[in-house]
Amino acid sequence: MRHLEDYEDAISRCFHCQICQAACPVYLQDLLETYCARARLGLVQAVFLEQTLKVTPRLREVMDRCLFCTRCTRHCPAGVPLDDVFALARENLGKQLGEQGRDGGAWTAPDAGVPGPVAGPLKSGLGEIPAVKGPVRARVAYYPGCATSRLFQDTGQAVLRVMSENGVQVMIPEGLSCCGFPAYVAGDLHTFRRAMQENLSILSGLDVDAILVDCASCGMAFKVKAGEVAKGDGAMEDQAARVAEKTWEATDYLNHLGPVAEPGAVAGVWTYHAPCRIGWTPTAEEAPEALLQHIPGAQYEALETTGACCGAGDLFHLRHGELSRSIRTKRLKEIRRNGAHTVVTQCPFCRYYLQQGGSDLEVMHPLAFLARAYGEMREA
Amino acid sequence: MSGLARDLTALLDSGKVLTDPEDCHAYACDAVYYFARRAPEAVVLPETPQEISGILRYASDQKIPVTPRGAGTGLSAGCTPVQGGIVLDMKRMNRVLEINRGNMTARVESGAVLGPFQQQVEAMGLFYPPDPQSQEVSTIGGNVSTRAGGPRGVKYGTTAHYVLGLEVVLPDGEMIRTGGTCVKQSVGYDLTHLMTGAEGTLGVITKVNLRLLPLPPAHRTAVIVCETLDQAAMLVSEIIAEGTIPARLEYVTSGAVQLMNATLTPPLSTDGEAYLFTELDGSPAQVEEDTQRLRSVCDRLEAMELRIIGDEREAETYWRARRNLAPTLLRLFKKMIVEDVTVPRDRIPDFVRALQSISASLGLIIGIGGHAGDGNIHPSIMFPEINDDLEAKAKEAVRRIVRTGLEMGGTISGEHGIGLHKAEFLVWELGEAQIALLKRIKKAFDPRGIMNPGKIWQEGGEA
């Protein structure tokens, strides 16, 4: 496990160029510099490393008012791992204030209908895996996260259907649990690491060509963050590296493999909302357009800004309703101006939150849209 | 609640006044973060000139320092509240009020962010060229206050060349409008251009009228790989002497290219010692003609490679890499001091040689990554480690660089402004008599000495 002190060098790489202002949805809404990543980083440094400022309720407020969208990290020219530093800062803050980590530690599933972390083993409930059509081109394991297992089974069924149509043999391993990303975000790194250990021990032993996820956050957990919390534990580092190497977002994987099934016609205008946390693989943002543009009748209209947040941020929207709604309003305005009725995105939180704000729209995973083009899906 | 917080919240909504140490800490410095850090006692987020007027009247009365601030991207410690007091964060006054196609002018609030404004203007077939590399976030008010520029300076000049008029709140709370929206103006002292570049020491700029140009229809980006820095310098002079003024003409060294290659496809060869990134613009015929001329100059001077980038999206990857170069360098170094000395462009080869000799004699890494075409080549001293020996050598190098630049007929700042970081050399360029005059001007505007005190000249700006 790494500590804040291990990041001292990385933190000092911040040039104060302020480019993070352009990336942070919270800053862009509040227009207060305290909320840009540069200033947050300076606070972490002053409070936890230099001890020149104290832990105060205002500090907690500042560190909490972050969606953990990780856009700052992706945007930072100096390569400062801002998200890791902020997760550790939340951990330190929680310890100093004698709190449990907020969302992840408790594993309290929020109200029915709201995606969130689920305690215990994942029960996919996706029914039987359809037989592969044609020759088997690849064998993959599919990790259906909490949202797909509990709430959005249509996404999971679409992934299975689309893969089978394209010669991909899918298996869903037994015994998987939540990837733990919500715990990481809450600064409960211990819980995140434990969740990762369980999942890695299952996934790293599989003889498959790829491990597919349908959620940007699960993907980031496996592709990037597992390696980060594994540091210092050689065996876990190896497992994390093996899993990271094989982790793909499902849309991205199919586009990479090349689809063979011919989609039928689906009328309507659609667009793509790129989830903030998809940054772990640049090609996942290109995949939906590349894959879905061949659907006859479906017309793609790109959004003006590719880098805009929906405001959800896991359960952030439950605690910061007004802020989240303001961010969502901007995004929905853009989507409506664009004229699309269908919005595809690879994040269940984006899907849930955009759908809540836009009952005139339908929001779904890109492969669900493709599955529709392959013919009617059976009911869940 | 402190007295200051109480007084300020009597003047404007409590949500616009911040005095918690966490918020004040966020406003303690600009991009010269290792220099002159000092948290203010209060941060104020005004939304109207009237609110600013009230604050300035109060601050004048109480003799409290007020430092206006845009995005805080400055490179001279210009918006650092070195004497504490109030920081006026202008970023909530960010509206683009008018883009007038017929008059080719725009009117914006001073907190408007440059990048989105440029996109908006370009979508209408118009062009606002000034391009400080922080353009994604920097504010137009900050650009005006520092006469900010960037790669396009070579052909299009800096922000100062586009300012037609201002709305300003003076330190006593009075509001004035200088200049206007005419391209010709000849009325009294040119207060517009006195406020422009005043770094917030004379008043607070709240609105700006800007001149626009038609957007050139064609663009072409090219990279020239040069065997030596000297060859690159010769190419710069020759390209321009041949009659082509590129829209951008940038120096990049091989070390920098190695970093930039992470985002360039295909990566550039790292065989060269220096690289020129250039963009030609104009009518399609003009761009074609300039491309041919570029080819012939490169052939004649035996450049190692000329890479023409045909696709505009691909070209943007080069300019993005260039834009992010300064912060990217901190992946390799612990600290860098960016100088802004600018020389007349026919002296570029001499200046580059002088920099190399300064670098060799002191054993320092001095990066040259700047706007070659306009002589503003940003010699940057790189610190692989931070220690007293390097700090002392760097200080000496800066003195020599500045001295050399001035001897060649140059200036100590082309586009960053003086702030506090460059203040010690002001007297070398302006002399005592001129500085005394600046102080008298300051006194006429700001008799109580509240506006961004401690800046531009060394012994305190309060006159």
Q: For B262-285, how does the pLDDT look when each residue is reduced to its tens digit (9 = 90+)? A: 889 889 998 999 999 999 999 999
- H/E stretch holding B396 reads helix B388-407
What local confidence, expressed as pLDDT, does residue B1 receive?
65
B27 touches chain A (CB under 8 A): yes
Question: Residue B68: beta bridge partners?
Answer: B88
Distance from CA of B32 to the nearest CA of A (A): 8
> pTM of the predicted model, to two decimals?
0.94
Q: In whole angstroms, how far apart are CA A296 and each of A153, A196, A271, A300, A373?
A: 26, 41, 15, 11, 9
User: Counting beta carbons within 10 angstroms of the beta carbon of residue A202, is it exposed (0 to 12), middle (13 to 18) or buried (19 or more)?
Assistant: middle
Distance from CA of B434 to the nearest CA of A (A): 33
In tens digits, chain A (380 residues) has pLDDT values of 789 999 999 999 999 999 999 999 999 999 999 999 999 999 999 999 999 999 999 999 999 999 999 999 999 999 999 999 999 999 999 888 877 544 444 455 566 677 878 777 887 788 899 999 999 999 999 999 999 998 999 999 999 999 999 999 999 999 999 999 999 998 889 999 999 999 999 999 999 999 999 999 999 999 999 999 999 999 999 999 999 999 999 999 999 999 999 999 999 999 999 999 999 998 999 999 999 999 999 999 999 877 799 999 988 999 999 999 999 999 999 999 999 999 999 999 999 999 999 999 999 999 999 999 998 544 43
Is the Cα torsion angle B284, B286, B292, B294 positive or negative in sign?
A: negative
Q: Answer whether A17 sits within 8 Å of B22, measured CB to CB.
A: no
Taking phi first (over 0 means left), then psi (-120 to 50 degrees means alpha), and beta for anything else, what does residue A217 get?
alpha
- Structural domains of chain B in order of their starting residue, each with its CATH number: 96-214 (3.30.465.10), 218-325 (3.30.70.2190), 333-407 (3.30.70.2740)
Q: What is the pLDDT of residues B331-379, one digit of tens each?
A: 889 999 999 999 998 898 899 899 999 999 999 999 887 898 899 989 9
Report pLDDT for A114. 78
From the number of C-beta atoms within 10 Å of its C-beta (0-12, 13-18, 19+), residue B432 rates as exposed
> Which residue among A21, A53, A56 places its CB closest to the CB of B71?
A21
How many whole angstroms separate alpha carbon B378 and alpha carbon B376? 6
Q: Pick A18's closest partner by Cβ from B45, B134, B325.
A: B134
User: Which chain B residue's Cα is nearest to A78?
Assistant: B328
- Give residue A24's Cα distance to chain centre: 16
> Is B94 in CB contact (< 8 Å) with chain A?
yes
Average pLDDT over every residue of B194-206:
98
pLDDT exceeds 80 at position B410: yes
According to DSSP, residue A13 is labeled: T
Instruction: Determine the pLDDT at residue A268.
Output: 93
Residue among B22, B23, B336 with most chain A CBs within 10 A, to mutate? B22
| A15 to B327: CB separation less than 8 angstroms, yes or no | yes
DSSP codes of every residue in A15-46: ----GGGGT-HHHHHH--GGGSHHHHHHHHII
**Chain B residues within 8 A of A39 when measuring between CB atoms:** 25-26
Distance CA A246, CA A340 (A): 33
Q: Which of A17, A39, A78 sits opposite B26 (nearest CB)?
A: A39
Q: What is the pLDDT of residue A377?
A: 47
pLDDT given for residue A40 in this prediction = 98
What does the alpha-carbon distance between residue A63 and residue B183 come to, in Å, rounded to a whole number?
48
Using omega within 30 degrees of 0 as the cis cutoff, is the peptide bond preceding B65 cis?
A: no
* A→B interface, C-beta within 8 Å: 12-19, 21-22, 31-34, 36, 39, 42-43, 46, 53-54, 56, 58-59, 62, 76-79
| Nearest CA-CA partner of B412 in B342, B319, B328 | B342
Q: For residues A206 and A223, what is the distance between their CA atoms, to the nearest angstrom?
A: 16
CB contact under 8 A, B23 and A14: no
SS3 content of chain A, % helix, strand, coil (to 5): 50, 10, 40
What is the structure's pLDDT at A323?
97
Long-range contacts, B354-361 (Cβ 8 Å, 24+): B354/B404, B354/B408, B355/B379, B355/B401, B355/B404, B356/B229, B358/B397, B358/B400, B358/B401, B358/B404, B359/B397
Give residue A101's pLDDT. 47
Query: Smallest Cα–Cα separation from B275: which of B398, B368, B173, B407?
Result: B368
- Closest-CA residue to A19 (of B171, B251, B133): B133
Which CA distances in Å does B236 have to B157, B242, B246, B250, B297? 17, 10, 10, 9, 10
B132: closest chain A residue by CA:
A17
The reported pLDDT for the residue numbered B36 is 84
Q: Residue B331 and residue A79: Cβ atoms within 8 Å?
A: yes
> Cβ of B29 under 8 Å from any chain A Cβ?
yes
B336: closest chain A residue by CA? A15
> Distance from A61 to chain B by nearest Cα, in Å?
10
Flag whether residue B317 sits within 8 Å of chain A, measured between CB atoms.
no
Asked whether residue B310 carries a pLDDT value surpassing 90, the answer given is no
CB-based contact, B39 to chain A, within 8 Å: no
Q: With an 8 Å Cβ cutoff, are A19 and B18 in contact?
A: no
Among chain A residues, the shortest Cα distance to B21 is held by: A53
Sheet holding B274-282, edge to edge: B248-253, B274-282, B218-226, B305-309
The predicted pLDDT at position A304 comes to 85
Return the pLDDT at A107.
Answer: 56
Please indicate if any CB of chain A lies within 8 Å of the CB of B334.
Answer: yes
- The answer to whether B33 contacts A39, with C-beta atoms less than 8 Å apart, is no
Cross-strand partners of B306: B224
- Touching check for B342 and chain A: CB below 8 Å? no
Residue B146 has pLDDT above 50, yes or no: yes
What's the pLDDT score for residue A108? 59
Find the CB nearest A33 among B20, B27, B134: B27
pLDDT at position B461 is 41
Distance, in Å, from the CA atom of A168 to the CA atom of A136, rounded to the nearest integer, reads: 6
Residues of B in contact with A56 (CB under 8 A): 20-22
The alpha-carbon gap from A199 to the nearest alpha carbon of chain B, in Å, equals 32
Interface of B with A in 40-59 (CB under 8 A): 43, 45
Q: Which of A8, A13, A18 to mutate to test the interface with B (most CBs of B within 10 A)?
A: A18
